[in-house]
Structure 1
């Protein structure tokens, strides 16, 4: 969970299945992300989680209010100040995170992150040269939950990997096909030059 400046309260994240129920009528793609995406990819529990992340494409952001009707949605303004986000406001490009809870004083339940898209492709907000066709951004779990492709999730975790990111990488590595390993290795090379994960991706 990210530390922020102004009112934050506590986190009690919903489960991926509850996210799927809440977002089932969304007229746009969405994907469970973060550590839960890793667990959906490998098919078993890997570690504890302090929150749950969901990816939306930036042009689809206003659909979130319809999916979470009656909830509070707060935008995280850099460098980390929460402010209310109204149903008609289009967030500026500098805002990537939205925290959601059922009502005032309730725990935060879902963190939504806005990802970029350009010319029909997913584009990394950290490096516009790292991209993927929208059809290849996510996978579907056996119980029907959309989740971010593991190689994309690991790319996001690779910038400054924390112990939990290393845990997620090692848990995912045996499940990465040669094609997924190649994509991740090339993305790491493009964005970081060299990265400690690359040797293991080529084994």
Structure 2
């Protein structure tokens, strides 16, 4: 479905880690896809006919319909998608911020990356979030599956990716246990 997109997008979540490591790690309930907030109108066109709901407010377990004419503003960033109201949720769409050519973390605007470094492409041509970026998201409230993903992806991270991840996690959670396995680098 997203192969037709004329905007950048990346597989996110556990599937992003699996695309990086090259094999399945665990079962998944849906597919996470990250797009830039500035492309949300184009996403709406791509998902014409789908049943779309936005988590409002975020993280509270409540969903409401996302009308076609509504432009979602921060802090809204999480959209649940299914083909019809009778089918299960199959895609979780996440909107992220950007300024020009920079991706900007919604958790802290000081955490950034050039958009062209935000993702990778699998051998089969599927774009996915760079492992260090996906692990940054997973670091907020780690669950068993996040620990599995961290252990699988950590050996793939080169020194700059490890340093970026350590720096980013240190900003949002200076006591995070993953930091013991990552180098700290000053953000200044």
Q: What TM-score do you get using the length of structure 1 for normalisation?
A: 0.85
Cα drift, residue 110 of structure 1: 0.5
Matched, 1:109 2:90: yes
Which structure 2 segments of 5+ residues have no match?
184-188
Cα drift, residue 88 of structure 1: 2.0
Which of 43, 47, 50 does residue 26 from structure 2 map onto?
47
* CA distance in structure 2 between the partners assigned to 1:77 and 1:84 by the alignment: 10
Task: Please give the secondary structure, in 2, of the residue aligned with 1:116.
Answer: strand
Question: Which consecutive aligned stretches of 4+ in structure 1 deviate over 2 angstroms post-superposition?
Answer: none
* CA distance in structure 2 between the partners assigned to 1:76 and 1:52 by the alignment: 16
Q: Which string of whole-angstrom CA distances, capped at 9 and with x for unpartnered residues, describes residues 48-71 of structure 1?
A: 112211001111111122212211
* CA distance in structure 2 between the partners assigned to 1:57 and 1:140 by the alignment: 17
Alignment of 1:47-86 (within 5 A): 47-78=26-57, 79-86=60-67
Which structure 1 segments of 5+ residues have no match?
1-21
Give the structure 1 partner of residue 145 of structure 2: 164
Cα drift, residue 193 of structure 1: 1.9
Q: What TM-score do you get using the length of structure 2 for normalisation?
A: 0.92
Instruction: Please give the root-mean-square deviation of Cα atoms over the aligned residues, in Å.
Output: 1.2
Which of 30, 51, 54 does residue 9 from structure 2 map onto?
30
Alignment of 1:53-202 (within 5 A): 53-78=32-57, 79-202=60-183
